[in-house]
Chain A
Amino acid sequence: MSQPGRPMGQTIAEKILAAKAGVTQVTPGQIVDAYPDLVMSHTATWRSVSVMKKIGAKRLYDPSRLAIVLDHISPAKTEKYAADQQTSRNFAREYGIEKFYDVDAGIAHLVLMEHGHVKPGDLIVGTDSHCTIYGALGALGSGIGYTEVASVWVTGKLWMKVPTTIKLTLEGRFVAGVSAKDLMLHLIGTLGADGCGYKSVEFYGGALPDMSVSERMTMANLAMEMGSKCVFIPPDEKTREWLLPRLSDPADYKPVIADENAVYEQSIEVNLAELTPMVACPHQVENTKPVTEVLGTRIDQAFLGSCANGKYEDLAVAAAILKGRKIDPRVRLIVTPGSKEILLEAMRSGILATLVESGALVTNPGCGACAGDGGTMADGEVSLSTANRNFVGRMGSNKSSIYLSSPATLAASALQGVIADPREFF
């Protein structure tokens, strides 16, 4: 495949996997043993602990590479959850895991990025499919199961198959009221739930430099829903500005970018100006429609949160629409800030007060209703959510329905009591 004497251009995924496997170059399809820089686990940690016990392992390869954030069920509502959380705490204490964050910290992915534990060029695996979000900071993030996490704890490595890469180019500008969530819903609807299955995705284009780190996180998060193994928004000045103050050592900031002559399997272009607000309809994320096709759908509940859209900017967009207004009395609006940092900023800037005054119920930071932690629905109920999954029964009854949308669409809809077009508010 490569010409003799001339190394093939490498994509970001190829470069990172090669580096973590200790080789100079890799090719798609090749299986390597890679050493992740960080292995994260959340509420699932107790399961990995049980695996370690089962296999009789006592030593960790490198405790400093472990991160544990108790986010999915926070705080415990049953004895079992409480006991499992204790198992995780005890494990962290026993092994001196510094990157341990308890049930009050917020969503694992957001907490780890906020605390500077994610760097460009890192390989990160964890017990959560939305590890792809780390690509917003130029890291390779990929989800694995709890047994494999225990394996990485003990051996330090895991096998990974080098993916091919899709190049996704974004041009133009969003129309007011349209955002990264709508872009991703459009892509998932177009490419399908397995449109990027096993593949890496790299984002480029003239639209990218103007996209905030928060928007990039939304993109990298939702990319999972088209099956991506990993996704990258190549680090730029915005990444640097966001991340550098959070790193313990600025010298750790070493972005990995693709070679000029990297080989891509496919190229896709999107003109942002052509996009409209989108929703994902029950019960698949790829079941997307423009919001105009579902206007007037009655909703019982609206959830603003999750690693997809629980960030400060997302709350601020919703607050701007809700300011001085009251939500429809039939709607239960649950707002779950993604982290303590986000909640504090919301307190200070006044958007927390705005949200509560409009009628929202603001919970403690965490995964919240997205993962079924509160906000459970009864038969026949409908929820609009800014999360990333709408699979049947995820938020309660298997006779309930979930629509996914952007924060702007969510706010507009909470006001009207039905799915509404946010562009009216811009």
Chain B
Amino acid sequence: MNLVEKILARKSGQRSVAPGDVVTTDIDLMVMHDLSANFVMKVFNNEMEEPGIADPSKIVFAFDHNFAPATRDAAEALAAVRKFAAKHKIQHLFDSGCGSIHHAIMEAGLVTPGMIVIGCDSHTPIYGALGAFATGVGNNSMAALGFARSKGWFKVPETIKIHFHGTPMKAVQPRDISQFLVGKLGEDGAIYKALEYAGPYIESLDVSDRALFPLQAIDVGGKCGFVNADEKTAQYVRQLQPSKSYELLQNDSDCRYSEVVDIDVSRIEPQVACPPTVGNVKPIDAAVGTPIDVAEAGGSTGGRLSDIRALAACFVNRRVHPGVRLQVVPASRGIYLAALREGLFETLHIAGANIFPPSAGSNQAFNMGALAEEEVMISTQARNFPGRNGHPKARHFLASPLTVAASALTGKITDPRTLETL
């Protein structure tokens, strides 16, 4: 069995499982952000007869879209979730300003290898980078099975293995490789399947960079994504939770895949997901030269300390292009403080960037990120669908942090490989 099959077997009390089996398992962690927590709470309150939550210690709410609610409706929703959490003794409530949900949760050390994590957020698969089985579920399942029983049911997915090898070109980042994969497989390329990200390239990445891959499992219709747990995984967890015990489950050497895809990363150029959808991935040349109004490095894929370091390095003694508003959104409180202490914020601030509270940033334009009809944004965000960030005709391009940095320097979408010449 591979890692996912093993986890599903363990948690359903079976010796082994195979793709196609339907299993009922215990759930280790249930995660919701401020939007989904509100919806699940409503379902639970309105439609469930059972008054109690089976195990509140397994529930996590992280307010990330609304770092400072902009509307009364948003404020009411947060207030209601806080009340609900207090009533049901849900301890893990990360209030506004905690960061982007999954980073806040990972930083808090709540996920360990071998766990089953479900979340009312399509990017929940990110925890597959920590050797967990993590997938998104609907509000109803969360309320009915998760809250009420701490259980879930799953059909064991087939697994596609992506074997990444080679050394990337200069200025090509893991985000570019991950986006390339989305473009290659297509938005329906892995429906209901698990994706295993493997190969020497993946093994060479740290956990934080590996996380970028399962994060985009949803973009190809995947049920989940994972990286086989190894010493790096154990190291990462040890640093956050030195005394937590768990079993480091790994793939069996003879595990099977429905498909193996081979990717030579040395041939991949910087990628851009062009409007109107995440699957519309093209090599950077297709978008180079497009004038931009807003550039954002933040959210799950661009707000990590490594991203902010890379961004700041591009702006030492340089200025953001006058026509561009560069927004920097750290992915967690810890990252915010570290970036502040390292002087990264000062560098970026002097360059003309605007620093925002740890949050989901412009994701769905709750507290920021609404564009006018003719405006263009390039960001490290996860989605670029029309209307998601203001006017339906506004254009939103998704790219790596270095591409965002290069574009913020020139005022146009720019190939990060030309950074040294800028």
- Seen from chain A, the residues whose Cβ lies within 8 Å of a Cβ on chain B are 75-79, 81-83, 85-86, 102-104, 332, 334, 340, 343-344, 347-348, 352-353, 356-357, 361-364, 368-369, 373-381, 396-397
- The answer to whether residues A353 and B340 also contact, given A79-B372, A376-B75, A378-B79 and a CB cut-off of 8 A, is yes
User: B337's contact among A83, A343, A357, A378, by CB below 8 Å, is which?
Assistant: A357
- The answer to whether residues A82 and B340 also contact, given A75-B327, A376-B71 and a CB cut-off of 8 A, is no
Which residues from B are CB-within-8-Å of A381? 75, 79
CB contacts under 8 Å to A, within B350-394, are 350, 352, 354-357, 365-375, 390-391, 394
Q: Are A77 and B370 in contact (CB under 8 A)?
A: yes
B349 located at the interface, meaning its Cβ lies under 8 Å from any Cβ of chain A in the complex: yes
User: A75's contact among B68, B325, B350, B357, by CB below 8 Å, is which?
Assistant: B325
19 residue pairs A–B, Cβ–Cβ below 8 Å: A76-B372, A77-B366, A78-B370, A83-B373, A83-B391, A104-B354, A332-B96, A332-B97, A344-B350, A361-B97, A363-B67, A364-B354, A364-B355, A374-B69, A375-B68, A376-B75, A381-B75, A396-B75, A397-B75
Name the 8 nearest CB pairs between A and B, nearest first.
Answer: A374-B68, A378-B79, A361-B97, A82-B372, A104-B354, A376-B75, A86-B372, A76-B370
Q: Are B70 and A376 in contact (CB under 8 A)?
A: yes
Given contacts A75-B369, A79-B373, A397-B76, 12 further A-B contacts (CB under 8 A): A77-B366, A77-B368, A85-B372, A104-B325, A347-B340, A347-B346, A361-B96, A362-B357, A369-B68, A376-B68, A376-B72, A397-B75
Bound complex: CA A103 to CA B374 (Å): 17
Bound complex: CA A369 to CA B69 (Å): 9
Which residues from A are CB-within-8-Å of B80? 378
B78 located at the interface, meaning its Cβ lies under 8 Å from any Cβ of chain A in the complex: yes
Which residues from B are CB-within-8-Å of A81? 370
User: A79's contact among B70, B95, B345, B390, by CB below 8 Å, is which?
Assistant: B390
Q: Are B354 and A79 in contact (CB under 8 A)?
A: no
Which residues from B are CB-within-8-Å of A396? 69, 72, 75
- The answer to whether residues A77 and B70 also contact, given A332-B96, A361-B96, A361-B357 and a CB cut-off of 8 A, is yes
- The answer to whether residues A378 and B72 also contact, given A77-B370, A356-B337, A364-B356 and a CB cut-off of 8 A, is yes
Bound complex: CA A340 to CA B346 (Å): 11
Q: Are A77 and B340 in contact (CB under 8 A)?
A: no
Bound complex: CA A380 to CA B356 (Å): 28
Q: Are B325 and A103 in contact (CB under 8 A)?
A: yes
Bound complex: CA A102 to CA B354 (Å): 11
Q: Are B78 and A378 in contact (CB under 8 A)?
A: yes
Report which residue of A340, A378, A396 has the largest number of chain B beta carbons within 10 angstroms of its beta carbon.
A378
- Seen from chain B, the residues whose Cβ lies within 8 Å of a Cβ on chain A are 67-72, 74-76, 78-80, 95-97, 325, 327, 333, 336-337, 340-341, 345-346, 349-350, 352, 354-357, 365-375, 390-391, 394
User: A76's contact among B68, B333, B390, by CB below 8 Å, is which?
Assistant: B390
Which residues from A are CB-within-8-Å of B370? 75-79, 81-82
Question: How many residue pairs bridge A and B at CB < 8 Å?
Answer: 122
Q: Are A334 and B391 in contact (CB under 8 A)?
A: no
- The answer to whether residues A102 and B325 also contact, given A78-B370, A364-B356, A396-B72 and a CB cut-off of 8 A, is yes
Bound complex: CA A103 to CA B353 (Å): 11
Bound complex: CA A133 to CA B347 (Å): 31
Q: Are A356 and B327 in contact (CB under 8 A)?
A: no
User: A77's contact among B337, B355, B367, by CB below 8 Å, is which?
Assistant: B367
- The answer to whether residues A78 and B390 also contact, given A332-B95, A343-B349, A397-B75 and a CB cut-off of 8 A, is yes
Which residues from B are CB-within-8-Å of A102? 325
- Chain B: minimal CB distance from A54 (Å): 21
- Chain B: minimal CB distance from A221 (Å): 22
Q: Are A340 and B349 in contact (CB under 8 A)?
A: yes
Bound complex: CA A81 to CA B369 (Å): 11
- The answer to whether residues A376 and B96 also contact, given A75-B369, A76-B371 and a CB cut-off of 8 A, is no
Bound complex: CA A104 to CA B337 (Å): 21
Report which residue of B75, B341, B346 has the largest number of chain A beta carbons within 10 angstroms of its beta carbon.
B75
Q: Are B72 and A353 in contact (CB under 8 A)?
A: no
Bound complex: CA A369 to CA B80 (Å): 20
- Chain A: minimal CB distance from B90 (Å): 14
Bound complex: CA A379 to CA B73 (Å): 10
Bound complex: CA A414 to CA B372 (Å): 37
| Closest chain B residue to A340, Cβ basis | B349
Which residues from A are CB-within-8-Å of B71? 376
| Closest chain A residue to B354, Cβ basis | A104
Bound complex: CA A382 to CA B75 (Å): 12
| Closest chain B residue to A300, Cβ basis | B79
Bound complex: CA A373 to CA B333 (Å): 22
Which residues from B are CB-within-8-Å of A75? 325, 327, 354, 368-370
Bound complex: CA A426 to CA B179 (Å): 56
Q: Are A347 and B349 in contact (CB under 8 A)?
A: yes
Which residues from B are CB-within-8-Å of A78? 365, 370, 390
Which residues from A are CB-within-8-Å of B340? 347, 352-353, 356
- Chain A: minimal CB distance from B97 (Å): 4
- Chain A: minimal CB distance from B360 (Å): 13
Which residues from A are CB-within-8-Å of B325? 75, 102-104
Bound complex: CA A352 to CA B346 (Å): 11
Bound complex: CA A103 to CA B370 (Å): 13
- The answer to whether residues A348 and B76 also contact, given A364-B355, A375-B68 and a CB cut-off of 8 A, is no
| Closest chain A residue to B71, Cβ basis | A376
Which residues from A are CB-within-8-Å of B375? 82, 86
Which residues from A are CB-within-8-Å of B67? 361, 363, 374
Bound complex: CA A353 to CA B75 (Å): 27
Which residues from A are CB-within-8-Å of B371? 76, 79, 82
- Chain A: minimal CB distance from B69 (Å): 4
Which residues from B are CB-within-8-Å of A380? 79
Report which residue of B340, B345, B346, B373 has the largest number of chain A beta carbons within 10 angstroms of its beta carbon.
B340
Bound complex: CA A347 to CA B70 (Å): 26
- Chain A: minimal CB distance from B409 (Å): 16
Bound complex: CA A396 to CA B75 (Å): 8
Q: Are A356 and B336 in contact (CB under 8 A)?
A: yes
Which residues from A are CB-within-8-Å of B68? 334, 361, 363, 368-369, 374-376
- Chain A: minimal CB distance from B403 (Å): 21
Bound complex: CA A77 to CA B349 (Å): 22
- Chain B: minimal CB distance from A157 (Å): 33
Bound complex: CA A81 to CA B371 (Å): 9
Bound complex: CA A77 to CA B372 (Å): 10
Q: Are B369 and A344 in contact (CB under 8 A)?
A: no
Bound complex: CA A7 to CA B87 (Å): 74
- Chain A: minimal CB distance from B230 (Å): 34
- Chain B: minimal CB distance from A368 (Å): 8
- Chain A: minimal CB distance from B107 (Å): 15
- Chain A: minimal CB distance from B361 (Å): 11
Which residues from B are CB-within-8-Å of A343? 349, 355
Which residues from A are CB-within-8-Å of B341? 353
User: B75's contact among A340, A347, A356, A377, by CB below 8 Å, is which?
Assistant: A377
Bound complex: CA A375 to CA B69 (Å): 5
Bound complex: CA A340 to CA B353 (Å): 10
Bound complex: CA A375 to CA B96 (Å): 10
Bound complex: CA A102 to CA B327 (Å): 13
Q: Are A363 and B374 in contact (CB under 8 A)?
A: no
Q: Are B391 and A82 in contact (CB under 8 A)?
A: yes
- Chain B: minimal CB distance from A369 (Å): 7
- Chain A: minimal CB distance from B260 (Å): 45
